[in-house]
């Protein structure tokens, strides 16, 4: 018996009930961090692709529906060929019918739909810089809250000094990175919308992780995410088209339709990693990955003549430091508190 096991076994020798481990995932921490950064970079690449598609169509709502819809088609083609995904689908349906999995936990895709909707509502008015700051602020606050209450599959993760410092550094990093783009006063309401979208993004990662834990398949969680998000965005698209009409033509460049495929990858990846990293650290990795990818895209494939400034580079470096600080664990604490107990009636 190891010293660790001896410390946690009662004196009469009877075993303790199962204790939720933060390290339950088999993925080493450093690999999980690297993957989370890559998935964050994928988010930035998807934003660039979807943004160009929206410009080509002159309609962000149709572009968002195309992105989610194409991702759903890809997933539905893969699902019949992936046995764990099919089995996971049956498990989730069974849990929903038995009311042991709350129905609202399969609605993570609504947060993704709300995210792209807020882009169309506020990004063009307040600017990309303020929009990004509000999103990151929402993700950070959401990550802290959902880790504290244990919404994610990894259990409740109390605040530590390193996690608080990491969150503050991430906010400072994004503020510094986009400081050159800040201009004028922004309507409070249009700042609140992307803030709620950021909170929703953290909630989406948490509930998708819980669905993945039930299904034992990231593919299953991603299918539910895209099915719900696509449904919501198609409704929004139809409402918008009823008043504004449809795009006159579809662009012919194939890469403009790659947003859905990219989304399949990083949504599944986030559902897989949230148990290992927690909601907050996963969000911080996403921020850092997005900044690194955005910087690389601006350097390699610029869309404007404005050169990359020192603030963008400095903010990106600071975001990576924030991830490093937030991932530090002091002491020998190895366990998380169990996940929050939720019922179908909650």
What integer pLDDT is reported at residue 214 of this predicted model?
Answer: 93
d(C-alpha 229, C-alpha 93), whole Å = 18
Residue written as tokens 């992936």?
Answer: 82
331 Cβ neighbours under 8 A, 6+ residues apart: none
* H or E segment and range at residue 7: helix 3-7
Judged by DSSP in three states, 335 sits in strand
Provide the token pair at 198: 């950021």
| Global confidence as pTM | 0.77
CB 151 within 8 A of CB 206: yes
Q: Note the maximum CA span of the chain.
A: 76
d(C-alpha 73, C-alpha 227), whole Å = 9
Q: Three-state SS string across 167-215, please?
A: HHHHHHHHHHHCHHHCCCCCCHHHHHHHHHHHHHHHHHHHHHHHHHHHH
- The pLDDT tens digits along the chain (346 residues) read 334 344 334 444 433 333 343 335 578 888 999 999 998 888 778 877 887 888 888 888 898 899 899 999 999 999 999 999 999 999 999 999 999 999 999 999 999 889 877 876 776 666 666 677 778 888 888 988 999 998 988 888 887 888 888 888 888 887 787 776 665 556 777 778 888 988 999 999 999 999 999 999 999 999 999 999 999 999 999 999 999 899 988 899 988 899 899 989 989 998 889 888 888 889 889 888 877 887 787 777 765 555 667 877 888 888 889 888 888 875 444 444 455 555 444 4
Provide the token pair at 34: 């690297």
d(C-alpha 316, C-alpha 324), whole Å = 13
d(C-alpha 189, C-alpha 87), whole Å = 44
d(C-alpha 268, C-alpha 284), whole Å = 17
């Amino acid at each position: 018996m190891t010293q660790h096991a001896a410390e946690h076994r009662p004196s009469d020798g009877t075993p303790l009930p199962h204790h939720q481990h933060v390290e339950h995932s088999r993925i080493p921490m450093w690999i999980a961090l690297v993957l989370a950064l890559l998935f964050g970079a994928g988010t930035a690449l998807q934003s660039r692709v979807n943004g160009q598609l929206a410009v080509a169509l002159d309609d962000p709502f149709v572009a968002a529906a195309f992105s989610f819809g194409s991702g759903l088609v890809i997933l539905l083609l893969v699902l019949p060929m992936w046995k764990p995904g099919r089995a996971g689908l049956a498990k989730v349906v069974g849990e929903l019918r038995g009311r042991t999995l709350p129905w609202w936990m399969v609605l993570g895709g609504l947060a993704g739909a709300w995210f792209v909707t807020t882009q169309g509502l506020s990004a063009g008015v307040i600017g990309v810089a303020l929009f990004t700051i509000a999103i990151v602020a929402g993700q950070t606050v959401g990550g802290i809250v959902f880790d504290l209450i244990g919404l994610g599959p990894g259990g409740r993760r109390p605040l530590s000094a390193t996690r608080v410092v990491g969150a503050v550094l991430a906010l400072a990093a994004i503020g510094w990175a986009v400081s050159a783009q800040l201009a004028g006063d922004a309507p409070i309401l249009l700042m609140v919308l992307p803030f709620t979208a950021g909170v929703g993004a953290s909630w989406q990662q948490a509930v998708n992780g819980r669905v993945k834990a039930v299904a034992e398949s990231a593919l299953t969680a991603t299918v539910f995410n895209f099915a719900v998000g696509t449904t919501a965005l198609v409704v929004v698209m139809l409402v918008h088209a009823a008043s504004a009409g449809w795009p006159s033509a579809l662009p012919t460049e194939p890469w403009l339709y790659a947003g859905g495929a990219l989304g399949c990858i990083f949504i599944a990846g986030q559902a897989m990693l949230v148990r290992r990293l927690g909601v907050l650290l996963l969000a911080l990795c996403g921020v850092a990955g997005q900044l690194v990818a955005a910087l690389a895209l601006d350097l390699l494939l610029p869309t404007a003549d404005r050169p990359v400034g020192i603030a963008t580079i400095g903010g990106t470096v600071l975001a990576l430091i924030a991830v490093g600080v937030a991932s530090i664990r002091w002491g020998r604490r190895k366990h998380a508190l169990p996940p929050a107990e939720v019922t179908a009636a909650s």
